Amino acid sequence: MSAASGARTGSGVHTQVAALLDRAAERYRDTTAGEHLTDVRARLSAPLRVAIAGKVKAGKSTLLNALVGEQLAPTDAGECTRIVTWYQDGLTYRVTVQPHDGPSAQVPFRREDGHLDIRLGEHRPEDLERMVVEWPSATLRAMTLIDTPGIASLSSDVSARTTAFLAPEDRPAEADAVCYLMRHLHATDVRFLEGFHDDEAASATPMNAIAVLSRADEIGVGRIDAMQTVQRIAARYRRDRQVRSLCQTVLPVAGLLAEAGTTLRQDEHEAITRLAALDRQRSNDLLLSADRFVAPGDDLGLDEGVRRELLDRLGLFGVRLGIALVRAGSVRSATELAGAYVQHSGISELRAALTTQFRDRAELLKARTGLTALEQVLRQHPTSAAEDLAAEAERIRASTHEFVEARLLNALRAGNLPLPDTDVEEAERLLGGQGSAPAARLDLPAGSPAEQFVQAASAAVQRWQRRAEHPLSSPDATEAARQVVRSCEGILADLTQAPSGSPPTGR
């Protein structure tokens, strides 16, 4: 990693919070608060925790499977869908259940047709606080994914379990960030997103949330241009003030298509090819609805069971898309068809957003969770011996530039600063709103020569310096401009510390 890659943005605050938590754990040694602080400290070195949340049947588990590239999370109506389940990287394959009361226990599991089949035995889902699936996986090495039961469901105790997990009242949230799935934007979705925000300065912060318009292929009623329609809807949400103040971005994703793409089998490609060979009139009739597609009939060369399975795996849109691609000669093998499904699904864009918005700022997000946890302990177990810790926590929040950037981004997104729209857009970018890497901040292609980065950063410093000194600017706008200058100077400092000629890499 070059000096330009993150000395300033990530590790500064992380190191400070780690040192503070060490001191706090020592101060509270031999107490339950001390034990808790030791756990909180350990979280700083573990992968970022991203929860996947949303209403019942929003497509959470399917999306998780698509991200991991394996069918780990159950997508049927089985009892396991009612348990908060952690999927984390491990040295070996192991499934453990953690009851609310009592010791954790390993449970047996097996792979069946690619699915992970977990046997709970005598454990009842409602008695379990969580289930942990350890699975060696590159995706999970970068971030632990937490599948949560659907909220606002008929079964209110299941909803309550998820809400208590994501936004607990008496302890810090277990997840550092959330990927929230919604099929349309409803009031309950808005309430949920508001609830997840941490209590920092009592203002909602969109930094730790990404919204996904899920089951995107269904929004355009399965039409072949469904994904374009849904792209337009997502773009509209992204411009919406309320949505912008609640999450980083809104992306449409057809998780089912992505899951099928990452796990497509040869026989599925063959079935699509056979359907593509049908007379057009015949196939159009067949694909009018899901019911028609699986209706009994044997003149297709594909029996009913196969069609039903194909529909489960691809949805009507996926079947139509596959047939169109095969007919157009755009795909000639199972691998090419799999690639096309992945590409159409929007999962790559989501992955990129998870990387720039969450993974690249994992240290800041984790530091924030750590600080919130510490502040809670200090409030719940006040002691005069810990007063300096509270002061230090406050100092880190108030003056560490990463936190200042986060607060400013938040205010900009909420429309709370009197700046023209074009300035808001540029300020957001320079503060890391599109990703914290220098390329994202300066809007340059990632591989650009170092001089170009220096030039762009210097020009931005000058531009925002002038804004900060403008006599007619309001005090808030002046302060915001000063902080943007600080961010740009930080980028410059990192750049000039980098070995000469080396292009800046991601933070």
Pick from 7, 11, 8, 64: which is nearest to 362 by CA? 11
Does position 59 interact with ligand GTP (CB under 6 A)? The reply is yes
Report the residue number, 147 or 423, with the smaller CB distance to ligand GTP: 147
Q: Of residues 71, 81, 137, 205, which one binds Mg ion by CB under 5 A?
A: 81
* Closest residue to bound ligand GTP by CB: 150
Beta carbons of 469 and 479 less than 8 angstroms apart: no
In this structure, the strands spanning 109-112 and 48-54 are unpaired
Report the residue number, 155 or 383, with the smaller CB distance to ligand GTP: 155
Q: Of residues 125, 172, 206, 255, which one binds ligand GTP by CB under 6 A?
A: 255
Extract the tokens encoding 341: 């499904």
* Number of residues engaging Mg ion in binding (CB under 5 A): 3
Does position 58 interact with ligand GTP (CB under 6 A)? The reply is yes
Minimum distance, C-beta of residue 42 to ligand GTP, in the bound complex (Å): 29
* Number of residues engaging ligand GTP in binding (CB under 6 A): 19
Does position 322 interact with ligand GTP (CB under 6 A)? The reply is no
* Binding-site partner at residue 433 among ligand GTP, Mg ion, none, CB < 5 to 8 Å by type: none
Report the residue number, 50 or 404, with the smaller CB distance to Mg ion: 50
Does position 268 interact with ligand GTP (CB under 6 A)? The reply is no
Beta carbons of 217 and 186 less than 8 angstroms apart: no
* Binding-site partner at residue 490 among Mg ion, ligand GTP, none, CB < 5 to 8 Å by type: none
Contacts of 506 (CB under 8 A, 6+ apart): 5, 6, 360, 435, 437, 439, 446
Q: Of residues 57, 351, 429, 482, which one binds ligand GTP by CB under 6 A?
A: 57
User: Per-residue x/- marks for ligand GTP, 211-240, CB under 6 A?
Assistant: ----x-xx----------------------
* Binding-site partner at residue 57 among Mg ion, ligand GTP, none, CB < 5 to 8 Å by type: ligand GTP
User: Per-residue x/- marks for ligand GTP, 397-436, CB under 6 A?
Assistant: ----------------------------------------
- Give the C-alpha separation, 212 to 67, whole Å: 13
Report the residue number, 204 or 256, with the smaller CB distance to ligand GTP: 256
The single-letter DSSP state of residue 309 is: H
φ, ψ for residue 479 (rounded to 5)? -65, -40
Q: Footprint of Mg ion on residues 23-62 (CB under 5 A)?
A: 60-61
Q: Where are the alpha helices (DSSP H) in 212-346?
A: 216-219, 226-239, 241-244, 255-263, 266-276, 280-286, 290-294, 304-327, 334-345
Contacts of 166 (CB under 8 A, 6+ apart): 51, 53, 148, 173, 174, 175, 178, 195, 196
- Give the C-alpha separation, 238 to 211, whole Å: 10
Does position 71 interact with Mg ion (CB under 5 A)? The reply is no
Does position 85 interact with Mg ion (CB under 5 A)? The reply is no
User: Per-residue x/- marks for ligand GTP, 67-106, CB under 6 A?
Assistant: --------x-----x-------------------------
User: Per-residue x/- marks for Mg ion, 181-220, CB under 5 A?
Assistant: ----------------------------------------
Does position 262 interact with ligand GTP (CB under 6 A)? The reply is no
User: What is the amino acid identity at position 245?
Assistant: S
User: What is the amino acid identity at position 225?
Assistant: D
Long-range contacts, 283-290 (Cβ 8 Å, 24+):
283/323, 287/316, 287/319, 287/320, 287/323, 289/316, 290/316
Does position 130 interact with ligand GTP (CB under 6 A)? The reply is no
**Among 50-58, 266-274, 462-470, 488-496, the segment contacting ligand GTP (CB under 6 A):** 50-58
Pick from 390, 274, 362, 367: which is nearest to 323 by CA? 274
Q: Of residues 2, 62, 88, 159, which one binds ligand GTP by CB under 6 A?
A: 62
Beta carbons of 256 and 215 less than 8 angstroms apart: yes
Beta carbons of 311 and 294 less than 8 angstroms apart: yes
In this structure, the strands spanning 128-134 and 85-88 are parallel
Provide DSSP, 208-229: GEEEEEESHHHHTTT-TTHHHH
Does position 344 interact with ligand GTP (CB under 6 A)? The reply is no
Minimum distance, C-beta of residue 182 to ligand GTP, in the bound complex (Å): 11
Extract the tokens encoding 258: 């992505």
Minimum distance, C-beta of residue 79 to Mg ion, in the bound complex (Å): 12
Q: Footprint of ligand GTP on residues 148-187 (CB under 6 A)?
A: 149-150
* Binding-site partner at residue 256 among Mg ion, ligand GTP, none, CB < 5 to 8 Å by type: ligand GTP
Give, for 486, the enclosing helix (H) or strand (E). helix 475-497
- Give the C-alpha separation, 393 to 27, whole Å: 15
Q: Of residues 116, 256, 319, 427, which one binds ligand GTP by CB under 6 A?
A: 256
In this structure, the strands spanning 48-54 and 177-182 are parallel
Minimum distance, C-beta of residue 409 to Mg ion, in the bound complex (Å): 31
**Interface with ligand GTP (CB under 6 A):** 54, 56-62, 75, 81, 149-150, 215, 217-218, 254-256, 315
- Interface positions with Mg ion (CB under 5 A): 60-61, 81
